[in-house]
Amino acid sequence: MAEQKKAPVGYDDTPFLPGNQWRVHDINRPQPRVVTPGASVGDAPSDAVVLFDGTDLSKWQGRDGSEAEWKIEGGYMEAMPGSGNIQTKEAFGDCQLHIEFACPAEVVGDSQGRGNSGVFLIGEYEIQVLDGYNNRTYADGTTSAIYGEYPPRVNACRPPGEWQSYDIVFEAPRYDGDGLVSPAYLTVLHNGLIVHNRQAALGPTGHKNLANYDEAHGPTGPLMLQDHKNPTRFRNIWIRALTDYDEA
């Protein structure tokens, strides 16, 4: 039986791609590193940092460095009203984040008073957590909004008490000294729907003020979760550092 001829794995006589050393279909271009996906949709891949697996808060602390005081129960952590914001001990920059949350099944309050919390990238840029199911509030403060700046494209909320997911791609702003070179960018999927597509943030999150980049800050910071005096739950939190192609 004749030996089957192998297909070419690349070429060395094609045009160079603009801006780099590699040709189109270059045989010598490094292969992507292997990452094993999670067993099920939403599970952490092999190169992720698992920030919360349902068992302990060892990777979290209070904003002042004190012990994180949120409750752990049934594989989730819950913001105990008055316990304060918590943040990761480790700092992150450009990243991919997966996080799941559930607002209280018992509806108490309205507008910003229902299941309010927040996910803060590098401690500065908030994706709003709220029970936005049949709950009218200001559009740039509803569930999955870039708080105070951009409403989500759609309201993808599940009913109160049901688990929901955010998948976020975050690019930190770049400064040259005190001057802004490029803003922060956020891509957000809420329950699998794109609600922000590489949206440039106006600046770090504020309240009742116009965000800006007047004060330069570093390219990394902790992931912070907000205690907004509502018993909101979180689970299955993991993060991946973003790398350029040639760093992968």
Domain boundaries, given as residue ranges, for the chain: 49-247
Structure tokens at 215: 């004060």
Query: Is 248's pLDDT higher than 80?
Result: no
pLDDT of residue 82: 87
Query: Is 244's pLDDT higher than 70?
Result: no
Instruction: Tell me the average pLDDT of the chain.
Output: 94
Distance CA(22)–CA(201), nearest Å, equals 33
Q: Of 78-82, 149-153, 155-159, 224-228, which gets the smallest average pLDDT?
A: 78-82
Name the band, by pLDDT with cuts 50, 70 and 90, for residue 81: confident
Query: Is 2's pLDDT higher than 70?
Result: no
pLDDT of residue 4: 77
pLDDT > 70 in the chain, percent: 97
**Residue 122: C-alpha distances to residues 30, 88, 170, 189, 207 (Å):** 31, 10, 9, 18, 17
Query: Is 25's pLDDT higher than 60?
Result: yes
**Which helix H or strand E contains 128, and what residues bound it?**
strand 125-129
pLDDT of residue 1: 62
Over residues 204-220, mean pLDDT:
95
Query: Is 173's pLDDT higher than 80?
Result: yes
Closest CA to 107 of 119, 115, 99: 115
So what's the architecture of 49-247 in CATH? Answer: Sandwich (2.60)
Query: Is 246's pLDDT higher than 60?
Result: no
In degrees, rounded to 5, the angle at the alpha carbon of residue 94 between the alpha carbons of residues 88 and 100 is 55
Query: Is 185's pLDDT higher than 70?
Result: yes
Which residues in 172-200 are b (16+ Cβ under 10 Å) and which e? bbebeeeebeebbbbbbbbbeeebbeebe
Name the band, by pLDDT with cuts 50, 70 and 90, for residue 33: confident
Contacts of 43 (CB under 8 A, 6+ apart): 37, 236
Contacts of 173 (CB under 8 A, 6+ apart): 180, 181, 182, 183, 184, 201, 213, 217, 219
Q: How many CB atoms lie within 10 A of CB 64?
A: 7
**Which helix H or strand E contains 88, and what residues bound it?**
strand 86-88
Query: Is 3's pLDDT higher than 90?
Result: no
pLDDT of residue 141: 95
Closest CA to 124 of 83, 164, 170, 90: 170
Contacts of 74 (CB under 8 A, 6+ apart): none
pLDDT of residue 14: 95
